[in-house]
Structure 1
Amino acid sequence: MKALVLERQGELSLRDIDLPSDMGPTDVRIKLHTVGVCGSDVHYYTHGKIGDFVVNAPMVLGHEASGTVIEVGKDVTTLNVGDRVCMEPGVPDLTSRASKLGIYNVDPAVTFWATPPVHGVLCAECVHPAAFTFKLPDTVSFAEAAMVEPFAVGMQAAKRAHIAPGDTAVVLGAGTIGIMTALAALAAGCARVLISDLSAEKLAIAESYDGITGINIRQTSVVDAVAEVTAGWGADVVFECSGAQAAMNDLFRIVRPGGAIVFVGLPPDPVAIDISAATVRECRMETVFRYANVFDRALDLIAAGKVDLKPLLSETYPFDASIEAFDRAAEGRPSDVKLQIRVDTESEAP
């Protein structure tokens, strides 16, 4: 079928490619509707690898997806043909030790869309386990459903933070994941969230939400801003979503004694952190890799109107303009948060 294929670093094509299509008894076949352009997709396009994951052969991109069920396996009881759905893109080995511990996101055997050598879903249809496919409530559009995946990362970060009602949080980096982490922190009970970035445009989008205050680090020190808001005590939780060394240098000056730091962003290169500064504050440090057991909760929050992701959608491209969408994402326009590609251009549903 026709798909957006990363041929090699820096080269994309829209062409026919043979993709796995066999269905098992617990699988469903899905007609893709909307697929988001993720930063990891763009990084594979521009750099050809992320850490140890290297693109050594042509690979279909895309893992933030929604669509419609068009076929169900004989043992599937939770979904029906015609159901609108979104899909958790990582499928673990359910017999693995990681899965049994409830941390299937770090299962070495997990297969995750658009992670070499696994193909993604910027194509017409896909086959996926029903257990990792979630029916959409009528209140959730295909576009919102395709943002459940990145929002689940923010949910995982909030879960790892062990937020208490009334906490003050700081998010370093106002990209897509940074803003979604801020929204997840508010949903988890934070009274206020400060978010920092170099981009005034992204900060303006973040500040359109009640409870979020932006810090433009071109103009104001994060350390000073947090000290002013917390009377010098520090934030209860700091979410590091930028991956920048400069942000790492400030971590232990903005977290309160006994507070938590959650590492969400993936630095492109190794970074240094001050262990001595962490120790004297007895900080708890957590890391986030994708998510586990939060995908349905993320969808429920959106469906309930507790989290509104619509302001984060910058533009939607038709499937035939997929390469243009990726080139724009690679530009890194300051005003862009989330770009999406509408694969199904025939359906009238948004």
Structure 2
Amino acid sequence: MQALVLERQGELSLRDIDLPLEVGPSDVKIAIHTVGVCGSDVHYYTHGRIGPYVVRAPMVLGHEAAGTVVEVGAQVKGLKVGDRVCMEPGVPDLSSRASKLGIYNVDPSVTFWATPPIHGVLTPFAVHPAAFTYKLPDNVSFAEGAMVEPFAIGMQAAARARIVPGDVAAVIGSGPIGIMIALAALAGGCSRVLISDFSKEKLAIAGRYDGVTPVDLSQESFAAAVARETADWGADIVFEASGSPKAYSGIFDLVRPGGALVMVGLPVEPVTFDVPGAIAKEVRIETVFRYANIYDRALALIASGKVDLKPLITGTYAFKDSIKAFERAASAQPTDVKLQILMD
């Protein structure tokens, strides 16, 4: 079958590739309908690596996906041919110590779509364990189903934050994940969320949501905005979602005494971290790596109508134009939040 293949850093091709499609007793085969273009996909395309994960051989991209079940294994219950589904892309070793502790997202042996050397799903069909495949409610579109994966990261961040109803949160970075964190934080009980960026276009998108206050960093510092909005107390929770090392300069000026810092963005350069600043306020520090035991919750929240992710889809491409989609994503147009590729 054809697939979008990252041949090597900076080189994409749409070509035939031989991928295993044998359906095991606990698996389902899915006709892929919609795939989101993730920042990690783009980073592998432009840089060839993310930390220890290095593209050493041709790899199919794509891990934010939804589609239709076309075959089910003999032991599968709860799913049938014709069901519309989304898929959690990371499959852990269920016998691992991490899985037994409920933190399978940090299982060292997890296999995650489009993470070297595992192929992704920008291809017509994929086989996946039924246990990590979720039926879409009738009111959730394929496009929204493909948004569950990035929204699950926002949900994981909100869960790690231990939100108390009425909390005020501050989010650094209004990219796709930053906005989804803001929405998850509001759904989790925050009364308000301030979100910062230099991109007026992305801030305008974030500011359309009730409860989200955009802060343009070209006009004022985030610390000044947070101080003004919290009577100089600070945010109860600060989410770092930009991945910029510069974001850590003065980051503890944003958080109140006894508050929390949740680190989500992955810097590619070294970070200077103000340990005395954290200790002086007894800031609780949490980290987020993907998600665990939250995918179905993210889907349920979208289906409830309490979170509307449709405004974040700013462009769609046909499968035959996948390379153009990635070229656009790599150009980082300020009006883009989430691009998607339609497989049929």
TM-score normalised over the length of structure 2: 1.00
1:151-166 map, 5 Å: 151-166=151-166
**Separation in structure 1 between the aligned mates of residue 115 and residue 275 of structure 2, nearest angstrom:** 32
**Separation in structure 2 between the aligned mates of residue 178 and residue 136 of structure 1, nearest angstrom:** 24
The letter for the 1-side match of 2:47 is H
Residue 84 in 1 paired to residue 81 in 2?
Answer: no
1:151-230 map, 5 Å: 151-230=151-230
**Separation in structure 1 between the aligned mates of residue 247 and residue 318 of structure 2, nearest angstrom:** 37
Could you say what secondary structure the match of 1:20 adopts? coil
**Separation in structure 1 between the aligned mates of residue 284 and residue 177 of structure 2, nearest angstrom:** 21
Could you say what secondary structure the match of 1:65 adopts? strand
1:24-103 map, 5 Å: 24-103=24-103
Task: Tell me the C-alpha RMSD between the 2 structures.
Answer: 0.5
CA-to-aligned-CA distance 1:82-118 (integer Å, 9 cap, x gap): 0000000000000000000000000000000000000
Could you say what secondary structure the match of 1:260 adopts? strand
The letter for the 2-side match of 1:269 is E
Q: Where does the alignment leave 5 or more consecutive residues of structure 2 unmatched?
A: none
1:289-328 map, 5 Å: 289-328=289-328
Residue 275 in 1 paired to residue 275 in 2?
Answer: yes
Superposed displacement of residue 21, structure 1? 1.0
Residue 4 in 1 paired to residue 4 in 2?
Answer: yes
Superposed displacement of residue 75, structure 1? 0.3
Superposed displacement of residue 251, structure 1? 1.2
Residue 238 in 1 paired to residue 238 in 2?
Answer: yes
Could you say what secondary structure the match of 1:14 adopts? strand
Equivalent residue number for residue 248 of structure 1: 248
Any conservation in 1 of the 2:245–2:269 contact (CA below 8 Å)? Answer: no
The letter for the 2-side match of 1:4 is L
Superposed displacement of residue 22, structure 1? 1.4
Q: Which runs of at least 4 in structure 1 moved beyond 2 Å after TM superposition? A: none
Equivalent residue number for residue 347 of structure 1: none
Residue 112 in 1 paired to residue 112 in 2?
Answer: yes
Superposed displacement of residue 23, structure 1? 1.4
Residue 128 in 1 paired to residue 128 in 2?
Answer: yes
Could you say what secondary structure the match of 2:249 adopts? helix
**Separation in structure 1 between the aligned mates of residue 187 and residue 33 of structure 2, nearest angstrom:** 28
Could you say what secondary structure the match of 2:250 adopts? helix
Superposed displacement of residue 243, structure 1? 1.5
Equivalent residue number for residue 149 of structure 1: 149
Superposed displacement of residue 270, structure 1? 1.7
**Separation in structure 1 between the aligned mates of residue 81 and residue 69 of structure 2, nearest angstrom:** 5
Superposed displacement of residue 240, structure 1? 0.2
The letter for the 2-side match of 1:179 is I
The letter for the 2-side match of 1:72 is V
Q: Where does the alignment leave 5 or more consecutive residues of structure 1 unmatched?
A: 345-350
Could you say what secondary structure the match of 1:236 adopts? strand
CA-to-aligned-CA distance 1:284-326 (integer Å, 9 cap, x gap): 0000000001100000000000100000000110000000000
Residue 288 in 1 paired to residue 288 in 2?
Answer: yes
Any conservation in 1 of the 2:202–2:334 contact (CA below 8 Å)? Answer: yes
Any conservation in 1 of the 2:36–2:339 contact (CA below 8 Å)? Answer: yes
CA-to-aligned-CA distance 1:63-83 (integer Å, 9 cap, x gap): 000000000000001100000
Could you say what secondary structure the match of 1:74 adopts? coil
Any conservation in 1 of the 2:171–2:193 contact (CA below 8 Å)? Answer: yes
Of all paired residues, the percent bearing the same amino acid is 71
Any conservation in 1 of the 2:167–2:190 contact (CA below 8 Å)? Answer: yes
The letter for the 2-side match of 1:51 is G
**Separation in structure 2 between the aligned mates of residue 269 and residue 3 of structure 1, nearest angstrom:** 32
Could you say what secondary structure the match of 1:225 adopts? helix
Any conservation in 1 of the 2:90–2:113 contact (CA below 8 Å)? Answer: yes
**Separation in structure 2 between the aligned mates of residue 54 and residue 285 of structure 1, nearest angstrom:** 28
**Separation in structure 2 between the aligned mates of residue 246 and residue 77 of structure 1, nearest angstrom:** 49
Superposed displacement of residue 234, structure 1? 0.3
